[in-house]
């Protein structure tokens, strides 16, 4: 193929413009990105070679070479990985295939300053080379292809690039950066070693650089020893040194890894720019042997709620990279966990399908789940310590101090996902229940555990009371809470969308049943004294005829009408039967376009309320009955079935 010119995809041109104009203040990241590409290319070769060893072409040692030429002003990153065909070079280096990059591009505002920050946090991959180079030459050959099918790709990083066929003996890729003036600082071995140490130590591939030696300058006058010398210079020796640790981070002993290295590794594998909240690193021995390095991110990703979201675990087998997003290794409710599992037992050619069935994988998944839960329990314990007394902090180790307050941060980001586990992972339900935190009628912050609640229960209280609602305000001000407030009984306020669903799977905690305050007949058991019970019975008796009339008036809306002692200030409220779906869940399902059974609630009225007392004998009985019902619906965040009719009725009464 002779020289051809191609245009970059529009997004690439836009990205290139941004890269060159906004990233110069953080220019060194180009090396991390290019080495990471080289490392990926070697991983891909290793993987393809599992079924086709010929791809190694007698050079089975995968390596990256860094070299620079100060005279020519070039810096070259060479790998002997998978390489690219001409078509691949055109496709991969001329377009943006990754959906992540596209998402990212759509977030850019065009405002130089904030875009620069965003782009610095994101990996820009290959194109980051243009931060330091005004021209890039890529020479590459696909592993297994003949030497004559080498490819040269050249671009100045503006609108287009050129591609031509060349002859290339070595398989893999050389990226030759023609450095700008400002990029010349990178044509320096100290500088390169420093950056490799910072970003690429844990890359399992050796990164080599040509050794240099100081060579004294020539004597100015060889005949005269005292004649002085020309300045000396560093010269290349032809020998290559490995300049990174070249051992996969997770294979090293914990004590040899600093917190910073753990965090850097996390950033590398997750593409997150924030440090992780915490991590756990273990070698698990026994019938199934594997190493796990699992991280909990500080922030939830935007697609957290997508249950099809890719899992964050990379699978290695005996240090060979096998696959990203190995969903079989972590349950869906822990999909936010990122990390690496390196198995000693799985076959190298394991496929996704095989993973689903493997007993080893099942064991790994259980082990990883338990580890994550322990990690969370540990954070939760430290949060508790902080709540208990601030003095504790004086006697804590640095490591433990770092954990203080972390659990509430975790919970704010991921607590709602964790709840999915109640329906998904029966084996760990007890542990999960202990990890849950709620707001309650006596605490606005999401900090009340079920155990806290139990410890604070009143004498004679035999249930854990909760209410579900769309918002905290709706839950807190719900009429159903009135008598609980009056009696000083704590009620958990549940406002996550998954709460209702998750609670379906939970009947009790530690022997105490969970009871919705909006379900079933009102019964506080021993918390109500005899007099109250008697008064309630009497009220039920006196109101019997009126209740029958109300029931008749509302027969299309309410399943039943009864008096209640759960209300103090409000005239009425709605409840559902014990086994019925809550009104809130039914609304949610409808909003989500799913079919939900028609829930006909029970209208409960407060016999002490002036409005209820006035009802009987009123000429407006019919209108008042409907207003009572619709208001009860409004009070819990619902909407009257016919809002206009409601407004009309209220206005008629007002005027
Ligand atoms: P990313 O690496 O995140 O996919 P890049 O823009 O860095 O994005 O690279 C785009 C694609 O170009 C890669 O996915 C890969 O297919 C190809 N590529 C880049 N560098 C190399 C390399 N050194 N060897 C082989 N292919 C490469």
Q: Write the pLDDT tens digit of every residue in 249-308.
A: 899 899 999 999 899 889 878 878 889 999 999 999 988 999 999 999 999 887 777 666
In the sheet that holds 320-323, the strands lie side by side as 278-284, 290-296, 338-343, 312-317, 320-323
How is domain 249-379 classified at the architecture level of CATH? 2-Layer Sandwich (3.30)
What's the 125 CA to ligand 1 centre distance in angstroms? 7
Check pocket membership of 92 for ligand 1, CB cut-off 6 A: yes
- How many A from CA of 60 to the centre of ligand 1? 21
Q: Which of 30, 37, 76 to mutate to test the pocket of ligand 1 (most atoms within 8 A of CB)?
A: 37
What ranges do the domains of the chain cover?
A: 4-217+231-242, 249-379, 437-654
Sorting pLDDT into bands at 50, 70 and 90, what band is 110?
low
Distance from Cα 338 to the centre of ligand 1, integer Å: 22
Please, are residues 355 and 345 in contact by the beta-carbon 8 Å criterion? no
Please write the tens of the pLDDT for every residue from 509-529: 999 999 999 887 777 777 777
- Closest ligand 1 atom to 36 CA: 2
For ligand 1, atom 13, the nearest C-alpha belongs to 92
State residue 97's pLDDT score.
63
Q: Which residue has better confidence, 564 or 99?
A: 564
pLDDT attached to residue 161:
96
Confidence check: pLDDT of 17 > 90? no
| Segment 304-329 mean pLDDT | 77
Average pLDDT over residues 22-29: 76
Q: Using the predicted structure, report yes or no on whether residue 388 has a pLDDT greater than 70.
A: no
Is the CB of 42 within 6 Å of ligand 1?
A: no
Query: Above pLDDT 70, what percent of the chain?
Result: 91
Average pLDDT, the chain: 87
For 576-598, write each residue's pLDDT tens digit. Answer: 877 777 777 777 777 777 777 77
Burial (0-12, 13-18, 19+ Cβ within 10 Å), 15? buried
Q: Write down the CATH superfamily of domain 437-654.
A: Heat shock protein 90, C-terminal domain (1.20.120.790)
The residue-averaged pLDDT of 633-645 equals 89
Lowest mean pLDDT among 27-31, 221-225, 355-359, 456-460: 221-225
Q: Which carries the bigger pLDDT value, residue 124 or residue 497? A: 497
Which of 389, 483, 513, 499 has its CA nearest to residue 439? Answer: 499
Question: pLDDT tens digits, residue range 38-73?
Answer: 988 998 998 899 889 999 998 999 999 999 999 999
Q: How far is the CA of 136 from the centre of ligand 1 (A)?
A: 14
Give residue 21's pLDDT band: very low, low, confident or very high (50, 70, 90). confident
Q: Does residue 390 carry a pLDDT above 60?
A: no
> What is the Cα–Cα distance from 370 to 49, expressed in whole angstroms?
35
Name the residue with higher pLDDT: 309 or 385. 309
Would the CB of 129 count as within 6 Å of ligand 1? Answer: no
In whole angstroms, what is the distance from residue 491 CA to residue 114 CA?
Answer: 44
Substitution site in 126, 131, 205 for ligand 1 pocket (most atoms within 8 Å of beta carbon): 126
When mean pLDDT is compared across 99-108, 192-201, 545-554, the lowest value belongs to 99-108
Determine whether the shortest distance from the Cβ of 38 to ligand 1 is under 6 A: yes
CATH number of 4-217+231-242: 3.30.565.10
Residue 519: what pLDDT? 82
The rounded Å distance from CA 89 to ligand 1 centre is 9
């Amino acid at each position: 193929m002779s020289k051809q010119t191609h245009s970059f995809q529009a997004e690439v041109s836009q990205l290139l413009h941004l890269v060159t104009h906004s990233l110069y203040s953080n220019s060194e990241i180009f090396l991390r990105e290019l080495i990471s590409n080289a490392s990926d290319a070697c991983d891909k070769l290793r993987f393809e070679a599992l079924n086709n060893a010929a791809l190694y072409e007698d050079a089975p040692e995968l390596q990256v070479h860094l070299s620079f030429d100060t005279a020519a002003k070039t810096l070259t990153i060479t790998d002997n990985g998978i390489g690219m065909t001409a078509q691949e070079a055109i496709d991969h280096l001329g377009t943006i295939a990754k959906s992540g990059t596209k998402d990212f591009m759509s977030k850019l505002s065009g405002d130089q300053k904030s875009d620069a920050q965003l782009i610095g946090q994101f990996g820009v991959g290959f194109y980051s080379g243009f931060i330091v180079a005004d021209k890039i030459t890529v020479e590459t050959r696909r592993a297994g292809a003949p030497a004559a099918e080498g490819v040269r790709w050249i671009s100045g990083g503006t609108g287009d690039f050129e591609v031509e066929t060349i002859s290339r003996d070595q398989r893999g890729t050389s990226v030759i950066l023609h450095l700008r003036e400002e990029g010349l600082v990178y044509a320096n071995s100290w500088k390169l070693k420093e950056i490799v140490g910072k970003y690429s130590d844990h890359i399992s591939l050796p990164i080599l650089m040509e050794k240099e030696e100081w060579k004294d300058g020539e004597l100015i006058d060889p005949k005269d020893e005292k004649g002085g010398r020309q300045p000396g210079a560093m010269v290349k020796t032809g020998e290559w040194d490995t300049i990174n640790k070249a051992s996969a981070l997770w294979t090293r002993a914990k004590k040899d890894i600093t917190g910073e290295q753990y965090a850097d590794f996390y950033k590398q594998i997750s593409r997150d720019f924030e440090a992780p909240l915490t991590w756990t690193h273990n070698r698990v021995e026994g019938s199934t042997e594997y190493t796990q390095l699992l991280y909990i991110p500080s922030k939830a990703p935007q697609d957290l709620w997508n249950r099809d979201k890719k899992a964050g675990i990379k699978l290695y087998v005996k240090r060979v990279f096998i696959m990203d997003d190995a969903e079989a290794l972590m349950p869906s409710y822990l999909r936010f966990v990122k990390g690496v599992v390196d198995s000693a037992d799985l076959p190298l050619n394991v496929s996704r399908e095989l993973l689903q069935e493997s007993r080893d994988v099942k064991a790994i998944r259980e082990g990883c789940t338990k580890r994550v839960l322990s990690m969370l329990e540990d954070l939760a314990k430290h949060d508790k310590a902080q709540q208990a007394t601030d003095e504790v902090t004086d006697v804590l180790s640095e490591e433990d101090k770092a954990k203080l307050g972390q659990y509430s941060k975790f919970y704010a980001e991921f607590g709602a996902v964790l709840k999915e586990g109640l329906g998904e992972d029966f084996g760990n339900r007890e542990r999960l229940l202990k990890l849950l935190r709620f707001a309650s009628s006596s605490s606005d912050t999401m900090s009340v555990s079920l155990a806290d609640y139990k410890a604070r229960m009143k004498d004679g209280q035999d249930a854990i009371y909760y209410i579900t609602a769309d918002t905290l305000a709706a839950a807190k001000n719900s009429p159903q809470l009135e008598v609980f407030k009056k009696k000083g009984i704590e009620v958990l306020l549940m406002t996550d969308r998954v709460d209702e669903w998750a609670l379906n799977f939970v009947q009790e905690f530690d022997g105490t049943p969970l009871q919705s305050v909006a379900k079933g007949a009102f019964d506080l058991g021993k918390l109500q004294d005899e007099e109250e019970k008697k008064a309630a019975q009497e009220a039920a008796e006196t109101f019997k005829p009126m209740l029958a009339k109300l029931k008749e008036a509302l027969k299309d809306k309410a399943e039943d009408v009864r008096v209640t002692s759960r209300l103090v200030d409000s005239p009425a409220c709605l409840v559902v039967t014990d086994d019925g779906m809550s009104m809130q869940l039914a609304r949610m399902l409808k909003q989500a376009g799913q079919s939900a059974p028609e829930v006909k609630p029970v209208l409960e009225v407060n016999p002490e309320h002036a409005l209820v007392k006035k009802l009987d004998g009123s000429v407006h009985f019919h209108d008042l009955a409907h207003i009572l019902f619709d208001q009860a619906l409004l009070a819990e965040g619902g909407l009257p079935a016919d809002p206009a009719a409601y407004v009309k009725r209220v206005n008629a009464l007002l005027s």
